[in-house]
Amino acid sequence: MNTLFKGITAILPDEESGFSAKVCDIAVSDSVISYIGDDAVGNGFVPDRTIDGRDKLITAGLVNSHTHSYMSLFRNSADDLMFHTWLFDRIMPMEDKLTAEDMYYGTQLACLEMIKTGTTAFLDMNIARDCITRAISESGLKATISRGLVGNGRDDEGGKTRIEDTLYDMRTYGDNKRLKFMMGPHAIYTTDRGYLELVMEKAAEYGLGINIHLSESVKEIEDCIAQNGCSPVKYLDDMGMFKFHTVAAHCVQLSDEDIDILAERGVYAATNPISNAKLGNGFARIPDMLDKGVKLCIGTDSAGSNNTLNMFSDMNFICLAHKGNCRSATAVSARQALKMATETGAKALGFDNTGILKEGYAADLTVMDMKYPSLQPVNDPVAAMCYSASGYEVESVMVDGEFLMENREIKGMDEERIYFECNKAMKRIDG
């Protein structure tokens, strides 16, 4: 299928400013962007369909670099609680009541929300084999999937079973080219050194990267120093974890040494600004990490702690929170936030051919309707995405040249059934 977006305002990569906006033609041939320029048809492109780009904005699809999709069930059910109370006293007891069907529909709800707000790829950490990956696969989104791994020692049977869950999903869904996999040790406080070493051995055996929560709370730092004599970042670096492609979620409580280690090792730091603030864990040192060259990307975390999976909200918050916290209007710019939410996020997930609008790259695209009072007049579309868009201006979403949503119509998902099943599940779990 050849699709032409005719005369559309596009956010394109720009070496000087990061991004610039230009009215142009964008041609999609099957799954890739085949042309960006002034006249696609004049340059030989033959469209099967042409979409009028007037009053529309097109950008690379957003990438959510950290979430727990099944936890969309827990939206607005565990609020105004400190982190460890939230996790151990509220979330985990509800997780213990989940069925495979619950998690399937909770994940479908997450995918539905992400599509409707312009996300085309995400990094997920889950708690079960098959049902969650099946729901993601059916959504059409791109995803890098990691089974959350918890264990003590190399011989922990539960820990070994969780690793096998990852391998099962890899075998079962490996033919889906929109899915990738990582090993997902949950955190240093839910694993010990022996188990982490086992996880790294499996990652090496199967050529996988690692997705881990890191330096999220003050308690995590204090406990690690008391037990290991160093910070969590230094602890993992000393055992060799950062030799792997690593995505470290949160990275809120970092020392200068920690930031240097992350930069030198090329670790992707997935900041979750709204979730970290809401749970009282604080603000990551984003301006310092940018200055040191840390590879920064943005995640929403789960709907149980954010409480949405809307990347527009997190792009807005990461800019505003750090401007206020640093008392500097230049602390984090809209262009820096958009890069974190697209190009760097895609690389963190292991998708090297997406995340920017460029010929030869995957046609993972988000199209927005700009005829909203809050977006008019259209002066700087990049600023509009970070400072005035809500996310629900998104009109169409395309992955690999396939529309997952077109003119706000979702393809291939039963919205009403998803809502019904999720509400039914939570009445049983938390009735």
Q: Which two tokens stand for residue 428?
A: 């049983």
Quick one: what percent of the chain has pLDDT higher than 70?
100
Q: In this model, does residue 431 exceed pLDDT 80? A: no
Rounded-to-integer distance, Cα 348 and Cα 297, Å: 8
Mean pLDDT of 167-183: 97
Q: Which residues contact 228 (CB under 8 A, 6 or more apart)?
A: 235
User: Which residue intervals of the chain bear CATH 2.30.40.10?
Assistant: 2-61+359-410
Indicate the DSSP class of residue 241: G
Indicate the DSSP class of residue 183: E
pLDDT for position 169: 98
CB-based contact 281:250 (threshold 8 Å): yes
Tally Cβ neighbours within 10 Å of residue 100.
Answer: 12
Rounded-to-integer distance, Cα 149 and Cα 164, Å: 10
Lowest pLDDT segment from 87-91, 183-187, 316-320: 87-91
Q: In this model, does residue 390 exceed pLDDT 90? A: yes
Q: Per CATH, is 62-349 categorized as 3.40.50.970?
A: no
Q: How distant, in Å, are the alpha carbons of 227, 230, 232, 266 from that of 193?
A: 12, 14, 12, 22
Rounded-to-integer distance, Cα 397 and Cα 363, Å: 10
Mean pLDDT of the chain: 97
Q: CATH topology for 2-61+359-410?
A: Urease, subunit C; domain 1 (2.30.40)
Q: How distant, in Å, are the alpha carbons of 68, 121, 190, 268, 270 from that of 213?
A: 12, 19, 10, 12, 9
User: Which residue intervals of the chain bear CATH 3.20.20.140?
Assistant: 62-349
**pLDDT tens column, 54-76:** 999 999 999 999 999 999 999 99
Q: How far, in whole angstroms, is CA 286 from its chain's centroid? A: 17
**pLDDT tens column, 371-385:** 999 999 999 999 999
Supply the pTM of this predicted model.
0.97
